[in-house]
Structure 1
Amino acid sequence: METQQADLEGYRQPERVVPLPETISQQAREFLATPSFALEPLPETNEPADWAAHIATVDQRMAEMLAAVTFPVDVTAHSVEECVVYEATPQKGGVADDGAILYFHGGGYIYGRGDAGAKMASSLAVASGLPCFCPDYRMPPEHPFPAALDDAIAAYLWLADRVDPARILIAGNSAGGGLAAASLLKLRDIGVTMPAGAILATPEADLTEAGDTFHTNYGLDRVLVERLMPANLLYANGHDLRDPYLSPVYGTFDGFPPVMLLSGTRDLFLSNTVRLHRAMRRDGVQASLHVWEAMPHGGFFGAPEDAEMLAEQVSFIQSVLSPR
């Protein structure tokens, strides 16, 4: 029988089959059993034209996927400095006076242009009854770091002029979760009143990809099947990847509001989420960590576990937003 061998480089694992767990819903098992999402391979060059063509292809595929599921929201656009902020308002209730969510879309800091963020945030808007404001933040190859962070801060300041910050929650998924965390760092550093809380769903919080699950969950995550280092380098544009405004896990978190962090045991970004949670806890932040069994990056896309995850977010939102 072949056994594990260890040295200073790590463990050498024999080839093995990872079973579908019996501990999750049937819908989740079926999702894990289907072929992985296959995005276009990341360009192997630094040519902006190659990246632009690649991004356009993936954005089109994302738009088709997002169009397949609709929610009862009305979407309007606001011009805020260098970007457009899309507002997704539930058709039944939901006005900014009741509170508002500033939502940053995922997409590896390179995908998700246009109103994709509003579509990604629609389920949260409907479930919470609150409008979600979704910046179409600028991205590479035309606009690398710090353009996205600049747009995020501009969007928050614009929203805070209209809604009491005690009634604003910041949220983001994947790259949007990393951007949300970086935005909180920046807001604190420039002395702006912080929002009431933040939800960071499987945040891309470390562009160095140093965490354990970049190895242990590599090839196991049904959704995020590849590491994103080429995109990380494109976004960073020569800046140190350990800069906390790029990789918030290396920041300090004193002065932060309550934070909810979400991930799954098969998520490639599980280490990002766990490490960010521990760093926040060390700095005294009221941070809670929710990890779902066998869940890959972003969820099961329609299983009961996704509804449970959404309900937890709504409960958190209701707990942190101050009453009018």
Structure 2
Amino acid sequence: MTTTGKQPVLHLPAREVPIPTLLSPEAQAQLAQSPGISNPPWPAQDDIDGWRALIATMDETGLAGLTMMAQQVPATVEEINTDGVRVYVVTPDGCTVGDQSVYLDIHGGALLWGGGESCRALAVITAGMVGAEVWAVDYRMPPDHPYPAGVDDCVTVYRSLLRDRPAEKIVIGGSSAGGNLAAATILKARDQGLPLPAAAVLMTPELDLTESGDSFNTLMGLDTGLTTRLMPANLLYAGGHDLTDPYVSPLFGDFTTGFPPTFLVSGTRDLFLSNTVTMHRALRSADIDADLHVFDAATHIGFIGTPESEDRTRELRRFVDRHWDR
């Protein structure tokens, strides 16, 4: 143990980290693959063209995989404009006529990418997971629309949904950056006097843009799905606002005045593990019902098409069905 400045530092020797043998063969094979594609170099904060090029690259990189998975879900998709915000409404085959249950889905993508066709494809995948109608918010993003544009768009869509659906039939959820905006949307809607939704779903959520949690250091390099910190993107998104503002980093919110039952998911190799478990403790300290699921060896992107991913989907479906009272 040594001290660097005011912060103690623990030095560990280099070591190999085996893949757990209790994982399914499919999950083991995914972990054995090389790390995912790292982000290109971050542009300077004022390099708007550089940010636009990076965002286009990341959207192109992810869209093919999302489209392939979405093609496995029989569903109809309608694009609508809700009070100025583009929304993809997805209805999976087999939905019960008259069921008012709806999942308000907020896409991930480092708070910068994942909109448009990626948002649409992810909405179809989500509809297949929850077995209900999905409203996916194609919210505005930097560099042209930094905070609070994205949160405001999500609150606008939630307010619109409330005109036709009871709050107890609405679940708000998202993964990664979408988990940030899902939680921020609930906090801001609550503070504006809107009723709480039936539940929240936060999948490996980016809740702390200060990146102060332990796993940002201990799991860097071990998470092959998220291979870098996102601080440059966080600063661009915040647009000069304090990163500890609860609507920017919901982990710093006040949950004692109300928050819905929450489903949280992470993995032991997920760079955002600290975000997830610290949020769970914050909710439980405020006596909020919160289900925490941490999957062994799962990275930020989890496992795709494996028994572990099927287990996660089964738990998610149980949770939303219970809170929709279906």
Which TM-score applies when normalising by structure 1?
A: 0.95
Paired letter, 2:263 = M
Q: Does 1:78 align with 2:85?
A: no
Aligned to 1:257: 260
Aligned to 2:291: 288
Paired letter, 1:57 = T
The 8 Å contact of residues 74 and 91 in structure 1, kept in 2 or not, is answered as yes
User: How far does residue 63 in structure 1 lie from its aligned partner after superposition?
Assistant: 1.3
Q: Which stretches of structure 1, 4 residues or more, deviate above 6 A after TM superposition?
A: none
Distance 1:290 1:181 in 2: 17
Aligned to 1:50: 50
Q: Does 1:198 align with 2:200?
A: yes
Distance 2:121 2:223 in 1: 23
User: How far does residue 322 in structure 1 lie from its aligned partner after superposition?
Assistant: 3.8
User: How far does residue 122 in structure 1 lie from its aligned partner after superposition?
Assistant: 2.5
1:67-102 Cα distance to aligned partner (Å, 9 max, x none): 222221111111023320101110222557330000
Distance 1:42 1:172 in 2: 26
Aligned to 1:62: 62
Aligned to 1:28: 27
1:132 equivalent among 131, 134, 138: 134
The 8 Å contact of residues 96 and 163 in structure 1, kept in 2 or not, is answered as no
Structure 1 residues 62 and 251: CA distance shift in structure 2, 3 A: same
The SS at the match of 1:97 is coil
Structure 1 residues 199 and 95: CA distance shift in structure 2, 3 A: farther
Distance 2:52 2:265 in 1: 31
The 8 Å contact of residues 171 and 197 in structure 2, kept in 1 or not, is answered as yes
Q: Does 1:174 align with 2:176?
A: yes
Aligned to 1:267: 270
Aligned to 1:40: 39
The SS at the match of 2:136 is strand
Give % identity. 43
Show structure 2 runs of 5+ residues with no match.
Answer: none
The 8 Å contact of residues 202 and 263 in structure 2, kept in 1 or not, is answered as yes
Alignment RMSD, CA only? 1.4
Aligned to 2:321: 318
Aligned to 2:10: 11
Distance 2:33 2:283 in 1: 36
Q: Does 1:309 align with 2:308?
A: no
1:145-187 Cα distance to aligned partner (Å, 9 max, x none): 0000000000101111121111111111000001101111111
Distance 1:127 1:215 in 2: 32
Distance 2:123 2:31 in 1: 24
Paired letter, 1:319 = R
Distance 1:286 1:300 in 2: 26
The SS at the match of 1:171 is strand
Q: Does 1:215 align with 2:214?
A: no
User: How far does residue 6 in structure 1 lie from its aligned partner after superposition?
Assistant: 4.9
Show structure 1 runs of 5+ residues with no match.
Answer: none
The SS at the match of 1:89 is strand
Q: Does 1:248 align with 2:250?
A: yes
Paired letter, 2:172 = I
1:206-242 Cα distance to aligned partner (Å, 9 max, x none): 0000000001110011111111000000000000000
Distance 1:115 1:95 in 2: 27
Q: Does 1:164 align with 2:166?
A: yes
Decide which moves more: 64-73 or 146-155: 64-73
The SS at the match of 2:10 is strand
Q: Does 1:278 align with 2:281?
A: yes
Distance 2:232 2:176 in 1: 16
The 8 Å contact of residues 124 and 310 in structure 1, kept in 2 or not, is answered as no
The 8 Å contact of residues 107 and 115 in structure 2, kept in 1 or not, is answered as no
Distance 2:225 2:41 in 1: 15
The SS at the match of 2:265 is strand
Number of positions where the alignment pairs a residue of Structure 1 with one of Structure 2: 319
Paired letter, 1:77 = E
User: How far does residue 277 in structure 1 lie from its aligned partner after superposition?
Assistant: 0.7
Distance 2:146 2:264 in 1: 26
Structure 1 residues 169 and 227: CA distance shift in structure 2, 3 A: same
Paired letter, 2:320 = I
Distance 2:28 2:66 in 1: 22
Distance 2:117 2:162 in 1: 21
The 8 Å contact of residues 106 and 173 in structure 1, kept in 2 or not, is answered as yes
